[in-house]
Amino acid sequence: MTLSLFLTSFCFAQEFLASNTLASGVNKNHAHVYTDLAFKGGYHWAEDLKSSLSLGIVKEFTGEAKLLFKDMVLETYRSNLYIHPQTEIAAHGFMRIFLPTSKSSQDKSEIMAFKTGTALSKNYLKWNFGYELSGSYFLHRFITAKDEASNLNYGITNTLTLGYALSEILYLNTALSLLNFATYNTTPKATYSFIQEIDYILLPKVEASFGLSTGGRQYRNNGKELNLALFDAEGSELFLGVNYVF
């Protein structure tokens, strides 16, 4: 059994994006600073099969200075489902359930989401190449009171990842995602996200990270279309984090 604590400080955010969740807790149109504290516990059923449960808390330091819960995430991950003997490309599988512990989800009829997917990875010298395909389905339908827009219905995400080991304790990671999400009233439309991150292993159980997350979202929290361009400034964040594994 493993237990980890992840503390991240975010700034330079034109609009709040909840890290590792499908629904954000607040909706601001100005730059602000906040701290994201996440607890994650896991259990290894076997060497390559693990289940984990994570819960995050968000504290804003600008604006109304709210303390908000993020959606709880239940995940089961199976590594090395298949390894190709010649290329050594490994296939992995995962399932995630997003439980409505955030105020945003509770305000919208306690909406829940289910996500499943598969990932491919390949190590070559100091490089790591990866591809992930996942599908998301939202279990509740609702209509907002303000503009009668519907919530997200389903979505498909394609993600390319690239990592490079600068040294034994310093890593550079990049991820580019193409997300196609649709509400109940529309067909899927594409939007993008791009993450650059540097990870530094301070101690055997402590890891620090620094990076930039940028990209566009096609919908606001209430489902209204934004029509954001690639790498739109309204979805940019600069982050600094520390991860500790007990």
pLDDT tens, residue by residue, 131-190: 999 999 988 776 654 556 677 889 999 999 999 999 999 999 999 888 888 887 777 877
- pLDDT, one tens digit per residue, over 42-55 is 888 988 999 998 88
Question: What are the residue ranges spanned by the domains of the chain?
Answer: 2-245
Is the pLDDT at 244 greater than 70? The verdict is yes
Please tell me the least confidently modeled range out of 56-60, 93-97, 171-175.
Answer: 56-60
Residue 106's H or E segment, with its range, is helix 103-107
Is the pLDDT at 116 greater than 80? The verdict is yes
* Nearest partner of 161 among 182, 131, 187, judged by Cα: 131
Residue 69's H or E segment, with its range, is strand 67-69
Choose between 58 and 100: higher pLDDT: 100
Is the pLDDT at 199 greater than 70? The verdict is yes
Choose between 110 and 39: higher pLDDT: 39
pTM of the model: 0.78
Q: Domain 2-245 classified CATH 3.40.190.80?
A: no
